[in-house]
Structure 1
Amino acid sequence: MFDLKQLSSTLQMKRVSWVWLLSALSAVFTVYVSLIPSPIRPNLYIYPKPLPALEGTLQKNNLLQRAKKLFEGQLLGPESITAGKNGTLYTGAQDGRILAFNNTHIWTIARTGQNVPGCGSFELEPICGRPKGLKMNREGDLLVLDAYFGLLKVNVSTGQMEMLLSSETGINGEPFFFLNSLDISQSGLVYFTDSTTRWGRRHYRYEVMEVNALGRLIEYNPETKVARQLLGNLYLANGIALSQDESFLVISEMSVCRLSRLYLKGPKTGQMDIFSDNLPGYPDNIKINNHGNFYVGLGAVRYEGVSKIGPFLDLVGPYPGIKNFIAKVTPLFLFDIFVPRHAIVLEISPDGKIIRSLHDPTGQVTSAVGEAYQHQGYLYLAHFKSTFIGQIDIRDIE
């Protein structure tokens, strides 16, 4: 005869056993996680409030969805774009290549590192190189800032490269760890950022989580071959751009969602202030457009209503302990699950006001834009994870 009481008792005992087992495993896991060291040293940081609202000049639109995808699948991670005197465009790729392109063709002119199987992978990035900021100088040579190797000069006709300032040499006895963006003045002075003195480029996610102030702004004089530090204590120093009259320089402090300004001329020479704060995302590269305004690409977004719980970094910013736990248990590549698919390019006036924004609110064409570069009637879009170069006819967005 079927004994319901005995069955009920047996099931109850099994439930108790499972509860005990899960509790024990949970305790073991907690002890294990508490004992293993965290890969990061996070700081407490409270982001500005209230969050930006997507209204007014930040109102959502679909203008970035009008981009044409150039050379899709032929490159990975075009980080920055610049043009030569003959109209040829140049960019750097994740596998260390420096590429030239026009509207129909793309070709390799040089490599910053070794050409070995597996270039473009996380593991080989420090060997193959990672060209980041680049711009033509007055003599027609391409200056390239490689995240790992240093400041290079490239003859675009022959592909011959010259090291101007190596990361190993660095400045003031301290090597460069994460070279990022550059701009060149009319007199030939080179300004560039070293994002942090702790992490290399491929560990940028840890740098964002830590919210430290270890970034630097460097000035290099090609004639004297002398470099000097203009600013320190920057939060993930990223994109930079000279103003049209070169009276000041704008710097992206990516991890704290703001742009800072360093005065180069006038009564405030040498002083720094905040140019634009509490941005709706994490500013990446900065480029001057034909109106003298700044195009700022956002590597990821943060705004009111971005998700049901709010922006991830805003939420964990005040809690270093939670950041440590996340860094211990989350593989680097999984950090991207916290990044919404929404591309935004800001247009910011010389007085630091957002006067316009371009969006792809669903990531239909591109999930993020790290740089927007205007050239000969087109806007070119780049991002360090993209598999194409975006191109928009300026007439389609004005």
Structure 2
Amino acid sequence: MQFSFICSKSGIEEEAGGSPSDALAKMNQGRSDVRQRRPVYKGDNSYQDEPKKSRAHSSDKWKSAACIALLLAFILTPVVILLTPSPIDPVYFTLPEPPEFEGVLEPNNLLQKSERIFENEISGPESIVVDGDHIYTGTADGKILHIYKGEISVLAKLGKGPCGGFDNEPTCGRPLGMRLTKEGYLIVIDTYLGLFKVNVATGDHYQLYSAEIPVNGKRPRLLNDLTIAEDGTIYMTDSSTKWDRRHNRHQIMEGEVSGRVLIYDPKSQEVTELINSMSFANGIQLTRSEEALLICETTRARLLKYHLKGPKKGSLEVINNNLPGIPDNIRRSSTGGYWIGMALIRKKNKFSFFDYCAEKPWLRALIMKVVSMDLVLQYLPKYGLVVEVNEEGKVIQSLHDPTGQVIPAVSEVEDKDGVLYFGSYNLPYLGRLYLQRYKKTKH
């Protein structure tokens, strides 16, 4: 038979059967157990709630749980990475073994003799036009700057604010390639907004072509550079119809071939497609006779030639299949050749991240899943390099900064009678080198 008791002011009352003394004895036994479970005062203002053996057992359980968690993380992390889709769909391609730095590519320190001008006063001067005492350039904050006798002013802004930051770039605009017409107008290609004509005296500008308008069924996503013929025809590169400028690393790592060359006809004011299926079509330059276009194909580290006239009209050929770097813009030199700025170098017997990944699309896909390319580039060795090529694509001279301390990378070289101006899409200054002071070029 079971009993239950309740406490009252009158003492213990029996609810059902059994001896009250027996019940009281059991109750006292319970109180004794309670007293034994009470915390033990240790003399240092702390209490010992459980025996040491119990605490050790609990600690062991926590260690076991931590080990299991680490093991699961070790096992599951690769699985999660493998199952996570890559932001790119890499294309397989090959590159030849990088060239030796010998002969005309023999390292020198000529680029180190450059001076940094307007340091921390401009941001990312990608392309440069020099006209007497006037310098024009476009910057990362969407401005077209006019520099005259050391004074910097804003000539024009093609987009609208706010500017600064990843999200604002497409509406703020990013001026890239620019040229001066024979009439003295500045023609600017904005990678997001299109093609513009700017009055250098007033800053007034109007749009020749909007990047919103598809060409051959596809909208340009990365308008990049331009060159202007004597009759006003403008040839411009669209590096990709898939990736915009903010994602240019994705485009390079993917290796896709949607790059092309477009033509703006000043008479009809229409834009048509001239060449397609290129891997990051970048710098573009008419030859002096205007019989051909020279085009830098960045992802393939090569120089192409498209024939506009003559017996080869309409044909595209590779005239340098193994440039010593990843090429950006191309401009005429004052001595008859063409300067090409290099974003990264490719040198035989020297590790090249770009070359190493070329034949490994799986590796490029994996890298883009887990690592920021900006972080990767930050830790690559710095080496400044520009090369001059002739019309057949042969390198005829090179300028180096082996330390990368003065000119770590070059997007464009503007040559005015042997005075070279160096632009870069991500540096806070222009470079300037009085080359004639240090050497006489022979061709």
Residue equivalent to 1:262: 306
2:283–2:296 Cα contact (<8 Å) kept: yes
Task: Work out whether 1:46 is the aligned partner of 2:94.
Answer: yes
Please identify the structure whose Cα radius of gyration is greater: 2
Residue equivalent to 1:10: none
- Aligned counterpart for 2:155 among listed residues 93, 109, 114: 109
Residue equivalent to 1:356: 397
- SS of the aligned residue for 2:317 comes to strand
1:300–1:339 Cα contact (<8 Å) kept: no
- The amino acid across from 2:141 in the alignment is D
- For 1:78-227, list aligned pairs within 5 A: 78-84=125-131, 87-116=133-162, 119-227=163-271
* Cα shift at 1:376: 4.3
Task: Work out whether 1:24 is the aligned partner of 2:72.
Answer: yes
2:130–2:414 Cα contact (<8 Å) kept: no
* Cα shift at 1:356: 0.5
- Which TM-score applies when normalising by structure 1? 0.91
Provide Cα deviations, 1:298-344, integer angstroms capped at 9, x if missing partner. 011111233xxx21121122222211111111134313135320010
- SS of the aligned residue for 1:314 comes to helix
Identity %: 38
1:152–1:163 Cα contact (<8 Å) kept: yes
Residue equivalent to 2:315: 271
- The amino acid across from 2:356 in the alignment is L
1:239–1:252 Cα contact (<8 Å) kept: yes
Q: Distance in 1 between matches of 2:348 and 2:412?
A: 23
* Cα shift at 1:172: 2.1
Residue equivalent to 2:375: 334
The Cα RMSD (Å) is 1.9
Residue equivalent to 1:36: 84
Q: Judging changes above 3 Å, is the alpha-carbon distance between structure 1 residues 46 and 22 closer, same or farther for their aligned structure 2 residues?
A: farther
Residue equivalent to 1:66: 113
1:239–1:286 Cα contact (<8 Å) kept: yes
Residue equivalent to 1:375: 416
Q: Judging changes above 3 Å, is the alpha-carbon distance between structure 1 residues 347 and 168 closer, same or farther for their aligned structure 2 residues?
A: same
Q: Judging changes above 3 Å, is the alpha-carbon distance between structure 1 residues 111 and 32 closer, same or farther for their aligned structure 2 residues?
A: same
Q: Give 5+ residue unaligned stretches, structure 2.
A: 1-60
Provide Cα deviations, 1:371-398, integer angstroms capped at 9, x if missing partner. 1111144100001011101111122342
Aligned residue pairs total 380
- For 1:380-391, list aligned pairs within 5 A: 380-391=421-432
Q: Give 5+ residue unaligned stretches, structure 1.
A: 1-12
- SS of the aligned residue for 1:27 comes to helix
- Aligned counterpart for 2:364 among listed residues 300, 323, 328: 323
Q: Distance in 1 between matches of 2:174 and 2:438?
A: 32
- SS of the aligned residue for 2:366 comes to helix
1:130–1:148 Cα contact (<8 Å) kept: yes
Q: Judging changes above 3 Å, is the alpha-carbon distance between structure 1 residues 22 and 315 closer, same or farther for their aligned structure 2 residues?
A: farther
- Aligned counterpart for 1:231 among listed residues 275, 292, 301: 275
Provide Cα deviations, 1:70-128, integer angstroms capped at 9, x if missing partner. 111011100011134x5412110000000111452221100121132xx2422321121
- SS of the aligned residue for 1:54 comes to coil
* Cα shift at 1:170: 3.2
Q: Distance in 1 between matches of 2:379 and 2:310?
A: 43
- SS of the aligned residue for 2:257 comes to coil
* Cα shift at 1:22: 3.8
Residue equivalent to 1:7: none
Q: Distance in 2 between matches of 1:140 and 1:146?
A: 19
- Report the more deviating stretch, 286-295 or 312-321: 312-321
2:334–2:418 Cα contact (<8 Å) kept: no
- SS of the aligned residue for 1:203 comes to helix
2:304–2:319 Cα contact (<8 Å) kept: yes
2:233–2:263 Cα contact (<8 Å) kept: yes
Residue equivalent to 2:9: none
- SS of the aligned residue for 1:73 comes to coil
- For 1:274-293, list aligned pairs within 5 A: 274-293=318-337
* Cα shift at 1:33: 1.2
Q: Judging changes above 3 Å, is the alpha-carbon distance between structure 1 residues 339 and 108 closer, same or farther for their aligned structure 2 residues?
A: same
Q: Distance in 1 between matches of 2:275 and 2:395?
A: 25
Provide Cα deviations, 1:197-231, integer angstroms capped at 9, x if missing partner. 11000111111101111101011111221222110
Q: Distance in 1 between matches of 2:196 and 2:100?
A: 41
Q: Distance in 2 between matches of 1:368 and 1:30?
A: 35
1:134–1:142 Cα contact (<8 Å) kept: yes
- Which TM-score applies when normalising by structure 2? 0.82
Q: Distance in 2 between matches of 1:36 and 1:301?
A: 32
- The amino acid across from 1:258 in the alignment is R
Q: Distance in 2 between matches of 1:231 and 1:268?
A: 15
- SS of the aligned residue for 1:278 comes to coil
- Aligned counterpart for 2:122 among listed residues 75, 84, 93: 75
Q: Distance in 2 between matches of 1:17 and 1:55?
A: 60
Residue equivalent to 2:10: none
Q: Distance in 2 between matches of 1:14 and 1:55?
A: 63
Q: Distance in 1 between matches of 2:105 and 2:63?
A: 54
